[in-house]
Structure 1
Amino acid sequence: MSKFELEGSGCSLHEPYALQVLGNEMEPEFPDRCVVIIEPTDHCPSHGFVFAEVEGVRWFRQYVRDETGRERLVALNALYPDIELNGLEWSVLGVIIQRNIRRQVKHYDYADQPSSGTAAQITDLTSQ
């Protein structure tokens, strides 16, 4: 899920949209072929799950900003290297607000998180 074109105009560009995860870079939290819902925004808290564009390539990763100001995109699967953001042209396109795996839904809430805060609040709806 590294490249695609956002299409539409007006309000449609500000509405949540779904994408299917392709690959194991974000496992185990986001397994291959699960569906994520993305809320368009240009900012996120540290440790938030983001859809971002770096030097023209789009990535689904975890955004991390440490206390020294170092920013990077991190794959949850340790087999993949971090993407160091300092000195690169990059932007957040949206944050992941929901994950769906075979009708098991998990929500991610960034509303109470400052832009340099900790991980998002997660609500697991699968047992309800």
Structure 2
Amino acid sequence: MDISQNIKYYRKQAGFTQVDLAKILDVQPTAVSAWESGRNKPLMDKVTMMAKLFNINISQLVGDTFDVNDIAPVYNRLDTSRKNKVYHFAVKQLEEQNNVVAFPTPSKTQVSVYGAVSAGTGEYLLDGTPELVDYDGVVPEHDFAVIVNGDSMEPTFDDKQIIFVQKTKDVRNGQFVIANYDHQAYVKKFMRDENGYRLVSLNKKYDDMLVNEEHELSIFGVVVF
């Protein structure tokens, strides 16, 4: 029901005539008649008084009737803190109406990057001081971070991607490692089979790097992503 029907219904429930209600609200009986017939609507202060008189919520009295102009007199009488609450509630309602889903904005973290490792022809690692670089995403536990140069480890590692490394000398078959191979640093997949040890590129246009007495190899650590 709308407000006109509700005023009439709750007035009769409370045992008041239109004249009785008009006297309590300090209006003319013709005003109450106009409200109940739908020819006019009461101001918000009268709505509040009637809700208290009928011992109901304002929303019960207003019912399905709402006009955008009804909210302004009420809003203007609120203090600043309550106006802020009304505003934020209205924004939330609008977002829900428009099916707007708010996704959290990822925060940027600065990580210390110790140079570059090659996914190509070789790089020198750990020269100089680390550089602070912005990183979007979750930073795992790690000992140091490096930047990938080249495309030999695509699609797992992209060119210029930051990767995180845990220092260790113990490497399992199939792990991604940061290796010093003939005095240059690489990110490669460590493999061991019946043919011996080798460092493998995921991009097949690059040859495997054999590990034997002809090459010097040491491991900085394993990639923890």
RMSD: 1.8
Q: 1:20 aligns to what? A: 147
CA-CA distance at 1:6 after TM superposition = 6.0
Larger Rg: 2
C-alpha separation in 2, matches of 1:34 and 1:65: 26
Partner of 2:205: 79
Q: Distance in 1 between matches of 2:195 and 2:128?
A: 33
Please point out which of 92, 96, 105 is paired with 2:223: 96
Deviation by residue 1:50-108 (Cα, 9 ceiling, x = unmatched): 00011211111000011x2600000111011110002122111100001xxxxxxxxxx
Q: Which residue of 1 aligns with 2:126?
A: 5
Structure with greater proportional strand content: 1
Which of 139, 144, 163 matches 1:36?
163
Aligned residue type for 1:33: K
Of structures 1 and 2, the one scoring higher in RCO (CA 8 A, sep 6+) is 1
Preserved contact between residue 125 and residue 184 of structure 2 (Cα < 8 Å): no
Moved over 4 A (4+): none
TM-score (norm 2): 0.38
Task: Give the unaligned 5+ runs of structure 2.
Answer: 1-116, 118-122, 130-141
* Cα separation, 2, equivalents of 1:93 and 1:75: 18
Q: 2:40 maps to which residue?
A: none
CA offsets per residue over residues 11-34 of structure 1, 9 Å max, x none? xxxx61111111101000111111
Contact 2:197–2:211 (CA under 8 A) maintained in structure 1: yes
SS at match of 2:163: strand
Tell me the TM-score normalised to structure 1 length: 0.65
Aligned length: 91
1:47 matched to 2:174? The reply is: yes
Which one-letter code corresponds to 1:3 in the other structure? Y
Unpaired runs of 5+ residues, structure 1, are 9-14, 99-128
